[in-house]
Structure formats: C-alpha cells, structure tokens
Amino acid sequence: MTESADKLTPITVITGFLGAGKTTFVNYILKEQRDWKICVLENEFGEVSIDDGLVAESLDAPEDLITMDNGCACCSVRGDLVRTLGQLIQRRKEFDAILLETTGLADPAPIVYTIQTNSKMSENYFIDSIVALADAKHLPLHLDEKKPDGSANEALQQVAFADKILLNKIDLVTPEQKTALKDRLALINKFATVIETERSRAPLDKILGLNSFNMESILNYEPDFFEIQEDAKHNLDLVSSVGITFQGQLHAQWFNMFMMDLLRERAADIYRSKGLLTFHGQGNTKFVFQGVHEQINFGPAKEPWKDGEERINKFVFIGKNLNREELTKGLMECLYKEEEK
C-alpha cells in the first residue's frame, strides 16, 4: 500500500562496506520482492556506482528514474541529495519508502540533519531508520582494524549509528562465531536490532516503515537493556553503548546545562543519544529526546506518565571512549533537590 496524501515518505539510510552484500540487497528489492514499492537512491560517495550494471545504462541525470517491473525504482544521486529528493516530491506517493544507499559513509549525521532541518525535506520526508549491512565473516576484521590516529574505524561507526544491523552471510560462519559476533555488536550498540540474513534476503517488514529512528523508540526497550554488562574480552573497543537509569525528577536548567556542556566538549565522540525524562514542575508530562552528535530533538512524549507508574529516567549514549561513571555522576547531579525551592 502506498503512502496516503497526508503522510510523509519514510527514508531508510543503508550503510555498509563494499562486499557486505548491498548490491545483492538492492537487486533483491528491485527485481525479486513484490510486497513493497521502494525507490532506491544510490548516493555515489565513491567513484564507482555500487549497482553499476543495473542503474548506469540509461541514467543521464539525477531526476531520471528506472522503473522496475515490481513498481520499484532506482536512481543515482550524482549531485546534491536535496535536489534529488526535491525532484522526487511529485512522485513520492508512488512509493512505500525511499532507501538511500550510502557507499563508504561512516557517519550519516549530515543526511539526518538535512532531512530534519530543511523545511522542504521535513514537509515531505522523515528518517525511518538507519540500517547497517554487515558481512558476518569479515566484520570482525573490520571492527579490529586500527586507525593510525587512534580514531574509531568506519565499521565501528556504522554499527554505532544503526537502528538495525543486517548480519549477512551468516551461512559462512560457525554458530560459535556468530554468537561471539552478536555479543560484540551488543557491546558496541545495544539498542540496534540484529537481523540475520543469507544472500541479502532480508525481511523488509522488519526494516521498513517501523519508525525506529524516532524519539520514542526508547520507550520500547526491555528493562534488561539498561543492565550493566562487562566483557573483558572486548572492553578495549573504542566504541560502546552505555545505558543509565535512575529515579527522581530532573531540574530542567541543570539538565540543559549538562547536555550543552557535554555536547560542546564531546559532540564528535557521541554518535547517538536518547533519553526518557521526568522534570520537576512538569506534572505528568513525559519527555523524550534523541540526538545524532550535537543535533538533539527534544519534546513531550505522546503518552504522559500514568497514575502510579514508576518514573524512571533512562539514557542511552553510543560513542567513543564513554565513561559510564562520569556520565552517571553528571546526570544525577541534575536531580531536583528540595532545598533548591
């Protein structure tokens, strides 16, 4: 079923290394599956288009679309992404979703920022999810790769930013290797859903149209998400995820100051952040936020705190060199105290 006139068109951003199976995944969407009408945009950050053989034959300009037999379409973004999406506005309702393929891009923050802050974009589109496609056999090697300057490598960043991780080629690894890899992925990014696939045949209903990027997705986390898990084997990974929970009402001004200071000093290191908050003086209003680097969306949740519901503040940070104790201490110093009246 295609989008109705009053709805925005969801954009799913796909990241992943060359060889992870993105070409096969795109071809599966365009040629085989029949349940979704998807417009695939190839963002050519590299010199060679991933799907060269399929899309390069007759595409002369970004506005040219190749329409497939199953109603899907494919287009190359050779210039400005905003221009291409702008040209698609008139036709966007023909599609259930737009899939933006980003070869070799580690940090999707510029794309997210553009969609959310450009009024023409935000009136027509929204970010549905960020999906990392990973090769189960070679991902451990990519994660172990050491950068000369000591920074996090692209594989770590792609896993860190993802809402969903498509763990592809699982038929090429042993059950023990798969379990070890999934355990490691959970340490890097505990809130991403891992979906196992072979030959890039992914269940699209578990990836598209779920709005897993939105602020309120933190409300769906299981309680054990926030339990501290330590693993000596991989505690040297530069990138990790930290979940923090505590009771009490936050002082709005102190919390705002804490977040401003944190993002001013560490924005480049904090890839993703999310929170569920209760503030002093705000009655039953439940607040949520989510951020990519320094870009934070903040506001009231759709549903307020229910009568008798335990009001627990929840925070998620994913990034480089995160110190759980420092973050916890800083956040708890934002709690409202009676003597502050």
In terms of Cα–Cα distance, which of 247, 205, 251 is closest to 96?
205
State the CB neighbour count (10 A cutoff) for residue 29: 25
Domains present along the chain, CATH in parentheses = 9-206 (3.40.50.300), 217-334 (3.30.1220.10)
The tokens for 139 are 């991902």
Is pLDDT above 90 for 281?
yes
29 pLDDT tier (thresholds 50, 70, 90) = confident
Beta strands per DSSP E along 17-80: 38-43, 66-67, 73-77
Q: Is pLDDT at 327 greater than 90 in this prediction?
A: yes
pTM of the model: 0.80
Two tokens at 200? 């890039």
Instruction: Locate 221 and state its tokens.
Output: 């986390």
In three-state secondary structure terms, 134 is strand
pLDDT digits (tens, 9 = 90+) for 40-87: 887 654 332 223 333 333 333 334 567 777 778 887 775 577 888 888
Q: What is the mean pLDDT of residues 92-121?
A: 83
Q: Is the pLDDT of residue 197 over 90?
A: yes
pLDDT digit string, tens, across residues 139-187:
998 888 887 776 768 888 889 999 999 999 999 999 999 999 999 999 8
